[in-house]
């Protein structure tokens, strides 16, 4: 990791963002760098205040990394230890983040130091329901959520779509909680949750929900930003939004709605 800049070096902190994209093509998992090497790179970039984000790309398959640097040349020097750098059969690109085309949704300031009370992950979001048993069955059978954690004695249950994903926590109010917690939780049942899911096919999801007796509050609708949105209720009337990204599977949709349904705006108080 000697190619990384010494954090004690005097001078201004890097403020520009650079993107490293690797397209792995048809390589199978065994040909990719070991997870331990990728993790070491992430840890070192974070230690020196350069790491912004990293994740896998799915279409086409690949790996994305966003880092801070003063110049493009410096970003390339920082990435000399990148285990993806010399991988055969791949396309490797490093370029400056352009807010005009890629958005400006990343913090240019260095992250707070470890132990300073910074937020490190979004773990779970609570959904208030009337009956935990029936709701749990619906979320499993209709939405396909596996149980990640459950404690029958306390009634605690966590659902998650996969390892590393944020969880839903189903909450059935209990009178023994006392007031005002009990009444506040009851009041949340049957409201807009503000929770947004991503789907690979909004029309297919609508058919599955309708066949299960779920209420659709807005059928699949093409949005000005190119994606397709669908709004639906769980058995308790909690509303969710699902969206199919632009360029996904074809879907039978209604006409485009106004910009109030775009992902960056809100409706009924929920982020979309």
pLDDT at 260 over 70: no
State which of 21-35, 87-101, 213-227 shows the largest mean pLDDT. 213-227
At CA 252, angle to CA 162 and CA 127, rounded to 5? 35
Q: Where are the domains of the chain?
A: 16-100, 123-188, 190-272
235 Cβ neighbours under 8 A, 6+ residues apart: 134, 135, 138, 214
Give the H or E element holding residue 43.
helix 35-47
169-175, Cβ contacts within 8 angstroms, sequence gap of 24 or more:
169/124, 169/125, 169/126, 169/127, 170/126, 170/127, 170/129, 170/132, 170/135, 170/136, 170/139, 171/126, 171/127, 171/128, 171/129, 172/128, 172/129, 172/130, 172/131, 172/132, 172/135, 173/128
Write down the pLDDT at residue 252: 58
CATH of 16-100, one of 1.20.1370.10, 2.60.40.10, 3.30.70.1060, 3.30.70.1350: 3.30.70.1060
Choice between 108 and 164, residue whose per-residue pLDDT is larger? 164
Identical topology for domains 123-188 and 190-272: yes
Q: For residue 60, say if its preceding peptide bond is cis, omega within 30 degrees of 0.
A: yes
Level-2 CATH architecture, domain 123-188: Roll (3.10)
Q: What is the pTM of this model?
A: 0.55
Write down the pLDDT at residue 89: 82
Choice between 266 and 167, residue whose per-residue pLDDT is larger? 167
Q: Percent of the chain, pLDDT > 70?
A: 76
194/268 Cα distance (integer angstroms): 8
Average pLDDT of the chain to the nearest whole number: 81
In words, the CATH class of domain 190-272 is alpha beta
Assign 107 a pLDDT band (cuts: 50, 70, 90).
Answer: low
164-203: per-residue pLDDT in tens?
A: 788 999 999 999 989 999 999 999 999 999 999 999 999 9
């Amino acid at each position: 990791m000697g190619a990384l800049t010494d954090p004690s070096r005097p001078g201004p902190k890097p403020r520009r963002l650079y993107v490293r994209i690797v397209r792995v093509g048809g390589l199978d998992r065994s040909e990719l760098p070991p997870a331990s090497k990728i993790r070491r790179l992430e840890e070192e970039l974070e230690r020196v205040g350069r790491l912004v984000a990293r994740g896998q790309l799915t279409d086409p398959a690949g790996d994305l990394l966003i880092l801070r640097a003063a110049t493009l040349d410096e970003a390339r020097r920082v990435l000399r230890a990148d285990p993806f750098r010399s991988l055969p059969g791949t396309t490797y690109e490093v370029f400056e983040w352009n807010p005009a085309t890629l958005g400006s949704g990343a913090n240019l300031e260095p992250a707070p130091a470890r132990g300073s009370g910074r937020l490190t992950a979004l773990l779970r979001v609570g959904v208030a329901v009337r009956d935990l048993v029936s709701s749990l069955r619906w979320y499993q059978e209709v939405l396909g959520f596996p149980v990640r954690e459950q404690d029958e004695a306390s009634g605690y249950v966590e659902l998650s779509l996969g390892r590393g994903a944020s969880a839903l926590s189903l909450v059935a109010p209990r009178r023994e909680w006392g007031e005002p917690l009990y009444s506040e939780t009851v009041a949340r049942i049957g409201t807009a949750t503000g929770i947004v899911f991503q789907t690979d096919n909004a029309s297919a999801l609508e058919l599955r929900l309708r066949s299960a007796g779920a209420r659709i509050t807005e059928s699949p609708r093409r949005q000005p930003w190119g994606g397709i949105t669908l709004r639906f209720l769980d058995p308790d009337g909690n509303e969710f939004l699902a969206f199919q990204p632009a360029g996904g599977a074809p879907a039978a949709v209604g006409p485009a709605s106004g910009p109030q349904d775009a992902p960056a705006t809100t409706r009924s108080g929920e982020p979309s």
